[in-house]
Amino acid sequence: MNTFTSLIETHAHKQPDAPALIYGEQVITYLEFNQRSRTVAANLARLGIGKGDRVAIWLPNIPAWFEIFFACAQLGAIAVAVNTRFRSSEVGDLLERSGSKLLVFWPDFKGINFTNILNKIHTRFLTNIKTIVVYSEANESASTDIDEQSMIPYNLLLRSQNPLAIHLTTDTGCIIFTTSGTTTLPKLVLHKQSSVVQHARDVARRFGYDQPKAMILQAVPFCGVYGFSQAVAAFAVGAGMVCVPAFDVEDILKLIDKYQITQTNGSDEMFARLLDARPERNPFPATNFCGYANFTPSLSNVVDRADQQGLKLVGLYGSSELLAFFAMQCPDDTVDARTRMGGFPVSDLTKVRVRDPKNDRLLKAGQIGELEFKCPSLMHQYFNNKEATSAAITSDGFFRSGDLGRLCTDGSFEFLSRMGDVLRLGGFLVNPQEIETYIQQHPDVESCQIIGIDSSRGTRPIGFVIMQETATTSETDLINYCRAGMAKFKVPTHIFLIDEFPTTTGPSGTKIQRTKLREMAIEKLTAANDT
């Protein structure tokens, strides 16, 4: 049965003493993990969490993240993945639109005061929250504006309760991710248990997680579809997983050596830093090929570098709607081929086609158009957004990806770029309209445009702002305003004040020339020697 409950119970029975999660000096076996998640589920039920309720998880890569997730899966509740980089405006929006009934968070992690972030959220965004669960490893304070009677420590969820009688179908929703789309606000992507479990099994098989003594290093955040997909693939086949809550090169190298890590996946920057720290040949002898996501233009040679040192990297493709590890390049292929994003779908049931966005005509191999996919891992829906769901799915069940690409003659496909102006910032897709909307909420701002500029440090968001006539706010003030309310990777590196945007008039009306804005940004940055 394709449910997380049956999955974990199977491993708990067949290999009770095998490590499921390793966190610091803590080793949680599959038997222990099954018991802990069932106990958490019973206590969540006691708090009123049931089928369809949303539970927001705002935690780094620690065992509690998946203890909560699997507990929700047992109850038929839906976990809401909250990015640990999010700040007040983003967290508040997600909690409100998801209708989350319970929030789990760590008040102070790695110097980030999450309690303070929570207190900055307007109470109208928190009306659905009935309970806040506070995770702590050092008795951190969690004084919030929310009634303290509604706050409980995470350890209470681990107190023994009577086991639950669970009777769930595979169609139960289990996880919500946020994604940037073509609207101002990020869409909420809902996946079902059956699709996630099946995809996890497909990923585990293609990446070798089902091999004896497989040990997965989990350095990519659970809160994103990339890290989540890797983690559930490990659970799918009973592999061990080492949790890395914060990225530190030296710590990761020690963990790779100590636990003889066989598989890990990450960004081009992550692998570049690991290779820099271990420049010798065959630096990770136990590690098989690794999947990577290409986020940074200046690191386009990372596959070649890794190859020369004896580590094979393969390009990946995925999305919040399709799940990560949706497709991968062949480990035995050339460096050039493995550098490309795309590849062969991990599921044999996947169908891929390319459509001309101008006339809807289906295209042949080699022709560039919009990639469309029909697959087992496709999302169930955009949560509470029937219109967006209908727009994204064709009448015959294909997902319109919004990505430009082409089919290859060998049955694979290649991703080339986003069709719109969505930016890749800090490893995440970000809609410029999201940043623009936030800046335009400032009382001194009349209008804002955000564009992306590629640099040696990756894509950089640049803002152009028209101010109100009576405004006294400076460019620096606006950047500080962004830092206070948004994740760091979304904050514009520069904001330029201008009197009007460049426009062009055509049959459809007047449009802002974003290409001209990019030219203006490059000119200004070049003049300041900051490109």
Q: Which domains does the chain have, with CATH numbers?
A: 4-192 (3.40.50.12780), 200-418 (3.40.50.12780), 424-527 (3.30.300.30)
Residue 214 in this model has a pLDDT that exceeds 90? yes
**Segment 445-492, tens digit of pLDDT:** 999 999 999 887 788 999 999 999 999 999 999 999 999 999 999 999
- Token code pair at residue 26: 């803590």
CB 475 within 8 A of CB 439: no
- Contact yes or no for 242/218 (Cβ under 8 A): yes
**Of the listed ranges 77-86, 252-261, 422-431, 510-519, the one predicted with least confidence:** 422-431
State residue 416's pLDDT score: 82
Sequence-ordered list of residues with C-beta below 8 angstroms from that of 416, at least 6 positions apart, any chain: 368, 403, 404, 405, 406
Q: Which stretch of 12-26, 59-73, 128-142, 143-157 has the lowest confidence by average pLDDT? A: 143-157
CB 20 within 8 A of CB 28: yes
How far is the C-alpha of 98 from the C-alpha of 282, rounded, in Å? 46
CB distance 299 to 308 below 8 Å: no
Distance CA 489, CA 20 (A): 32
Give the single-character DSSP code of 123: G
Secondary structure of 431-495 in the HEC alphabet? CHHHHHHHHHCCCCEEEEEEEEEEECCEEEEEEEEEECCCCCCCHHHHHHHHHHHCCHHHCCCEE
Asked if pLDDT for residue 182 goes beyond 90, the answer is: no
Residue-level pLDDT at 355: 95
Confidence category of residue 183, pLDDT binned at 50, 70, 90:
very low
Residue 181 has pLDDT above 50, yes or no: no
Q: What is the mean pLDDT of residues 173-178?
A: 96
- Mean pLDDT across 381-406: 95
Integer CA distances (angstroms), 415 to 316, 354, 400, in order: 10, 11, 13
CA dist., res. 131 & res. 135, Å (int)? 13
SS3 55: strand
CA dihedral 91, 92, 93, 97 (to 10 degrees): 110
Amino acid at 36: R
Average pLDDT, the chain: 90
d(CA 371, CA 318): 12
If one compares 346 and 358, the residue with the highest pLDDT of the two is 346
pLDDT for the residue 166: 65
Percent over 70 (pLDDT), the chain? 92
Residue 368's identity, in one-letter code, is: I
Res 2: pLDDT: 82
The pLDDT value given to residue 165: 62
Residue 139 has pLDDT above 70, yes or no: no
- Residue 19 pLDDT: 97
The reply to whether the predicted model has a pTM over 0.95 is no
Question: How much is the pLDDT for 257?
Answer: 95
pLDDT per residue as tens digits for the range 330-353:
999 999 999 989 999 999 999 999
Percent of the chain with pLDDT over 90: 73
With cut-offs at 50, 70 and 90, classify the pLDDT of residue 531. Answer: low
